[in-house]
Amino acid sequence: MNETPELPERRQMPDALRDRLWSEQIEPQLATRSRSLRAPFAVAASVVVLAAAVAVAFTQLRGHDAEVASGQSPLVRECVRSGKNLPDPTAWRAGARFDLSPQLGFLVIRSNRTAAACTIENGHGTGLIGGAPEDTDLYSQLTPDRPFDYLTSMNYAKDHIHFGIATHDVATIDLVGPDNSVSPGVVGDGTFIVRDNIAEDSNQPSTNYVRATLNNGRTIQAPLRN
């Protein structure tokens, strides 16, 4: 009763039967499972690609908005309107800008011939300093030995803001005072603004010198007012 029955000897499956079972039973199940596994990965990959595309589009939109937000065109229009009888009102564009405080700033506007300094109050162009300029071609008067010129100044009790024009090869502008103090300026599209503590008075000789550095490294120093 306790004897183990003898089992038949293990025999190999014929090749033809094994191939038929593989092709008809096992392989289709493996293929179905493989497709079911690939589907989530395909969906995930699509989500990643879509997210990347949205991120790129959002970045480009933000970059465009940043350029628009930093544009000075509305201020230029306000400055032009504030200056009565400006020559060729549509030809003006923004140059150098300097903000003395969150409420008060200055913008130099220019055409191909001349330039003017505008006061910015609470984010709006409110008036031209010294009134509208004459239709004189100031830029044609700049020379290699004097590639800059003085426009006007706004003198406060402690701060003095000076405005000027320059050729396009002027990279930087510094104002050197009689005490050899150096005040760096802001240069933009052939214009500049410098803030220092030394006033400019048209009734007395110039007390400041301009030190201009050109794109080629050459330095030129001359009085602010010619």
Same domain flag for 59 and 134: no
Same domain flag for 126 and 48: no
Same domain flag for 39 and 86: no
Residue type, 7: L
Q: Note the pLDDT of residue 7.
A: 53
Does residue 139 fall inside a structural domain?
A: yes
- Number of domains, the chain: 2
What global pTM score does this model have? 0.67
Same domain flag for 124 and 103: yes
Same domain flag for 99 and 185: yes
Same domain flag for 81 and 166: yes
For residue 198, the domain's CATH number is: 2.60.40
Same domain flag for 60 and 31: yes
Same domain flag for 46 and 83: no
With CA atoms as reference, report the closest residue to 172 among 156, 157, 188, 161: 188
Same domain flag for 115 and 209: yes
Q: Note the pLDDT of residue 14.
A: 62
Q: How many CB atoms lie within 10 A of CB 153?
A: 21
Q: How many CB atoms lie within 10 A of CB 92?
A: 22
Q: Note the pLDDT of residue 52.
A: 43
Q: Where are the beta strands (DSSP E) in the chain?
A: 93-99, 104-110, 115-121, 124-128, 148-155, 160-166, 170-176, 182-188, 191-196, 209-214, 219-223
Same domain flag for 110 and 212: yes
Same domain flag for 104 and 216: yes
Does residue 138 fall inside a structural domain?
A: yes
* Domain range for 40: 16-68
Q: What is the pLDDT along the chain (226 residues), one digit of tens a residue?
A: 555 555 555 555 666 556 665 566 655 555 555 455 455 544 444 444 434 443 433 333 333 322 333 478 999 999 999 987 788 889 999 999 999 999 999 999 999 999 999 999 999 999 999 877 888 899 999 999 999 999 999 988 889 999 999 999 999 999 998 889 999 999 999 999 999 988 876 666 667 899 999 999 999 999 998 8
